[in-house]
Structure 1
Amino acid sequence: MNTKGKLIIIGGAVDKGSFTEASFDKDVSKNMNFFEKGIIKRIIEESKHKENSRIEVITTASKIPREVGPEYVKAFQYLNASNVDVLHIERREQASDEEVLNRIKAADVVMFTGGDQLRLSSILGGSKLHDIILDKYKNEHFIYAGTSAGAAAASNNMIYQGSSHEALLKGEVKITSGLGLIDDVIIDTHFVQRGRIGRLFQAVVGNPKVLGIGLGEDTGLLITHNTKMEAIGSGLVILVDGREIKDTNLTQVELGQPISINHLVTHVLSIHDTFDLSTFKMHIHSSQYI
């Protein structure tokens, strides 16, 4: 069945340091500027009623939800989308609250902030709210948008832990189940800035059916019908395709030992480039050969 909703996943912040620097908590308003004229605008344009769409910002992943939530509202309002509010869902029972559920049912867009993706999966996973989001995403003109943790949690498989510099040591990358809006991909964020390509390599070599998606900061993917992906924002999207892996030592080495991989394919997308998940074909928007 064709998925009617759209998925907008974002790698996190930009050169302002949002979600990456220790000073983020102290300077939230300055660190939210990455959205205002690029990706936030695209979210509004793709939504059902444009500037009049009902948007709910969900701060469950964040450790500072009362500071972060209003900044997202400001970013949307700056672009004339004023029908925006914040849902602070901090305990699992809140995800079954009737008022909360009614707000999600009425929403055209849900925007999940950054933070800890395990908070999203453990608090919202399997809840009535989760069921409503999945149903709306499948059957309605509805947008799930998520940045950082909100992006990482969107897929069925979710990276929740693993250091960048030791990512290609067996067992270093920890994976669990996400919110399950899209299958057969695994998403990592702050990708270029935090040098996380090794995390995707390990995730993909463990199951080459899964396409690794690495999102740079101030960069995202617009995914329609769960098949067509378009790069948006100012940075890079790196895709890791393991279907043509020829050899690896993954099952032969002990935990903590380096992993070898022969013939792992990567693609690099920038703004307006597309990739089709049904055919695994990439189109470069500004190709030098056209």
Structure 2
Amino acid sequence: MLLLVCQVSLAAESIAAPAGKLMIIGGALRYDNLQIWQPLIAAAGGSQARVAIIAVASAQPQQAGQQVQQVLSTYGVSAGLLDLPRDPAPDTEADAKDQAAQQSAVNRIDQATAVYFTGGDQRRITRALRYASGKPTPVLEAIIRLYQRGGLIAGTSAGAAMMSERMFANPGTVLSVMQQGATASQALTSGLGFAGPGILIDQHFLIRGRLGRLLAGLQANGTALGIGVDENTALYVEGQRYAQVYGYKGVMFASLPVRSADAVSGVLRIPNAQLHYLSHGDRIDLQTLAITPAADKQAIPQETHPEAAQLRTRYGDVLANTVIPEMMFQLMESQAGQISGLAFDAAAKEQSTGFELVLRKSPQSRAWYGVSSGMTQYTVTGLQLELLPVTVQALQIQPIQP
């Protein structure tokens, strides 16, 4: 069954007509997670796969790269670590050592079927693959050639964040980005754009409560679609369009039809966004946002939950670990038309800016669940989201005297 949730208009592709695939991994990927490693290896060429590992994002690139190389070898895959300079000289003709390292990496990528980026700091990736002028290095040009001829680009954590045209880099806390705006807080910088235009990617998403900063990034950048991938979870994308979720948790999709005036001036305000949550086996068309739940999932009848009257309708901290998807699930299993919560600094000593987040059902809201993996996995589509700034008074906590 195909559910058309909403329509998003995307600009011309930044990387022309790629025939290749992406495996966007939210971080903390377990080496025994076959739900991700098996499709990753299949997309890389199966038994014929040849993977070039790029670990420049890591503080210890040799160690990080060798760990991935060992994992891939246990699955029978040929893989090798590229030794790249982190800050390539602006003139490779004047730096023989840099030029030799670049050419060696280019030769290996031209023979590879896939490139795998480890986690760490995504700014190290973009610095290593672009000159200070912004011009791509020969290594980045080789990666783009691999992508265009049908190869796989996989990346975890930092390796996922850099796949959009804009990426988060040293943004501070989620609440501070919401309070200042992504522009004022300098949360965004240029990524590598493998995912195509009109998309902003965030990682470690649900476990670190990053929906607020993703919304701020969308507002500030005027981006059509935000994708938040949780840990030990991946979004597999073909041709910058057709995608499927693999792994332990899920992927959040947020689309903003209206750009608020507050997007530039500072504090975040979202009058009307759409929110969708997909888990293992679910598919989505990134251009139309048509969503197909996994075949093993069943529709959740609305307003029939046996404990509907006991479900919460208001949450105290929407930025906490996995609270947003929990709110989405509870709303779809209850008779309520909306559910809300607050985001604020509980340690503030004086009055501060917080946020009220409201999720509402719409005529397009639907939900499914499946248990084939041994745990309940949900799919929720078509919820409306409103996020408004509020003034929060300093909390005063007094012990109860016996």
Both proteins in one fold, TM over 0.5: yes
Counterpart position of 2:125: 120
C-alpha distance in 2, partners of 1:232/1:114? 18
Which of 80, 87, 108 is the aligned partner of 1:85? 80
Which of 155, 159, 167 is the aligned partner of 2:177? 167
- Structure 1 residue 67 and structure 2 residue 80: aligned? no
C-alpha distance in 1, partners of 2:23/2:75? 18
**Aligned-partner SS, 1:74:** helix
Counterpart position of 1:130: 140
Which of 91, 99, 103 is the aligned partner of 1:98? 103
Identity %: 29
Gaps of 5+ in 1: 15-32
Gaps of 5+ in 2: 1-15, 90-97, 131-135, 301-367, 369-402
C-alpha distance in 2, partners of 1:287/1:166? 39
Which of 180, 184, 187 is the aligned partner of 2:201? 187
**Aligned-partner SS, 2:189:** strand
Change (3 A) 1:173 1:236: farther
Structure 2 counterpart of 1:196, one-letter code: R
Cα deviation for residue 208 of structure 1 reads 4.2
Cα deviation for residue 247 of structure 1 reads 4.7
Which of 34, 39, 51 is the aligned partner of 1:37? 34
**Aligned-partner SS, 2:34:** coil
Conserved in 1, the CA contact under 8 Å of 2:54 and 2:81? yes
Q: What TM-score comes out, normalization by structure 2 length?
A: 0.62
Change (3 A) 1:129 1:35: farther
Cα deviation for residue 288 of structure 1 reads 1.1
Q: List per-residue Cα deviations over 1:115-156 (Å, max 9, x = no partner).
A: 111111111121111111112212x12000000001111111
Change (3 A) 1:246 1:145: closer
Conserved in 2, the CA contact under 8 Å of 1:130 and 1:179? no
Cα deviation for residue 40 of structure 1 reads 1.9
Cα deviation for residue 260 of structure 1 reads 1.5
Structure 2 counterpart of 1:6, one-letter code: K
Cα deviation for residue 197 of structure 1 reads 0.9
Cα deviation for residue 87 of structure 1 reads 1.2
Cα deviation for residue 159 of structure 1 reads 1.2
Counterpart position of 2:251: 237
C-alpha distance in 2, partners of 1:42/1:127? 29
- Structure 1 residue 288 and structure 2 residue 290: aligned? no
Cα deviation for residue 35 of structure 1 reads 5.3
- Structure 1 residue 5 and structure 2 residue 20: aligned? yes
Higher relative contact order (CA 8 A, sep 6+): 1
Q: List per-residue Cα deviations over 1:198-253 (Å, max 9, x = no partner).
A: 1101011224443111010001110001101111111110111012x3755334x4
Cα deviation for residue 103 of structure 1 reads 0.4
Matches within 5 A, 1:45-64: 45-48=42-45, 50-64=46-60
- Structure 1 residue 274 and structure 2 residue 283: aligned? yes
C-alpha distance in 2, partners of 1:98/1:173? 34
- Structure 1 residue 152 and structure 2 residue 141: aligned? no
Matches within 5 A, 1:186-225: 186-225=200-239
Conserved in 1, the CA contact under 8 Å of 2:253 and 2:276? yes
Cα deviation for residue 11 of structure 1 reads 0.3
Conserved in 2, the CA contact under 8 Å of 1:173 and 1:202? no
Aligned residues: 264
Q: List per-residue Cα deviations over 1:71-130 (Å, max 9, x = no partner).
A: 10121122121x111113233254762211100111101000001111111111211111
C-alpha distance in 2, partners of 1:148/1:38? 17
Structure 1 counterpart of 2:299, one-letter code: Q
Change (3 A) 1:193 1:90: farther
C-alpha distance in 2, partners of 1:144/1:121? 15
Structure 2 counterpart of 1:272, one-letter code: G
Change (3 A) 1:287 1:227: farther
C-alpha distance in 1, partners of 2:259/2:150? 41
Query: Which moves more between the two structures, 273-282 or 146-155?
Result: 273-282
- Structure 1 residue 176 and structure 2 residue 196: aligned? no
Conserved in 2, the CA contact under 8 Å of 1:117 and 1:160? yes
Conserved in 2, the CA contact under 8 Å of 1:8 and 1:223? yes
Q: What TM-score comes out, normalization by structure 1 length?
A: 0.85
Cα deviation for residue 272 of structure 1 reads 1.1
Structure 2 counterpart of 1:128, one-letter code: P
C-alpha distance in 1, partners of 2:107/2:32? 27
Structure 1 counterpart of 2:293, one-letter code: I
